[in-house]
Amino acid sequence: MPEQLYLPADRASRLASIRAAFPGLEGPDCPTPGGRAAGLLRLQRVDPVAYDRSRNFLDGAVTGLSPYVRHGCITLGEARAHSLRVVPAQRAWKFIFELAWRDFWRRVWKSLGPAVRKDVERPKVALGQAPLPDDVREGRTGLPCMDATVRQLVDEGYVHNHARMWFASYCVHFRKLSWRSCADWFMGHLIDGDLASNHLSWQWVASTFGAKPYIFNKENVVKYSGNRWCAGCTARCPFDDSYPALSRRLFGEEAT
């Protein structure tokens, strides 16, 4: 990304500047072409049954709809209606359930306003307050799974939901960083960046908007990533343990 982008005032020159600065953002190779037509095309490809079966896997049939929903190119109602058109309701429910999360976060935001940037509830475990350090921000932690997530975030502006959860948990619980400082930075790189879904998801991971902290282990990463990182990883893995052992290591007896 260029250090600084000076944008002219008129729309045509502004678009020309953006196109010149980000040549990969248009044309057949662009991973997320903008606009309603592209959003509707993406929606037509949604397969709610395959989604239900595979959505937790990094190579699963996730939809890539979030940038289009976030920027108003398509609505949640249109996404729901599409799924009910192509399969019976009982086979569409998982997809609709996930759309409902987005709706829920938005309603919470509407009710709380700017307070979504602060702890909504008392944390259920002790949380750290350290600001986001450079090794995490620059994808230099030495953990291939976390560094790849940062690279994808920065290069593509998109990360799969499961990888977002792992990364948030790593930052908040394994590194004891301030969820707020991580969430602000993370959202700034997302094409679908949205204060409600992003900050409340970070709070859900942290346990300031949920009953318990979200943690994961190596077995979970191996299974849902198709073992894409762990097979060749030589790092000392902080995630390689059982859940009770991780919980004791991260939170002491309070969360066991």
Site for ligand FAD, residues 56 to 75, rule: CB under 6 A: 62-66, 69-70
Query: d(Cα 212, Cα 184) in Å, to the nearest integer?
Result: 22
Single residue of 127, 132, 143, 168 touching ligand FAD by CB under 6 A = 168
Q: Specify whether the CB–CB gap between 192 and 145 falls below 8 A.
A: no
Residues with Cβ < 8 Å from 42, sequence gap 6 or more? Answer: 63, 64, 65, 68
Single residue of 174, 202, 224, 229 touching ligand FAD by CB under 6 A = 202
Q: Is 43 in the site for ligand FAD (CB under 6 A)?
A: no
Single residue of 145, 194, 216, 225 touching ligand FAD by CB under 6 A = 194
Residues with Cβ < 8 Å from 58, sequence gap 6 or more? Answer: 160, 162, 163, 224, 225, 226, 228
Q: Is 55 in the site for ligand FAD (CB under 6 A)?
A: yes
Single residue of 187, 222, 233, 237 touching ligand FAD by CB under 6 A = 187
Single residue of 164, 173, 175, 180 touching ligand FAD by CB under 6 A = 164
Token pair of 171 as six digits = 């930052």
Q: Is 207 in the site for ligand FAD (CB under 6 A)?
A: no
Half-sphere exposure in the Cβ direction for 240 (13 Å, CA): 9
Half-sphere exposure in the Cβ direction for 73 (13 Å, CA): 21
Q: Is 193 in the site for ligand FAD (CB under 6 A)?
A: yes
Query: Where on the chain is the footprint of ligand FAD (CB under 6 A)?
Result: 55, 62-66, 69-70, 98-99, 101-102, 105, 160-161, 164-165, 168, 187, 190, 192-194, 197-198, 201-202
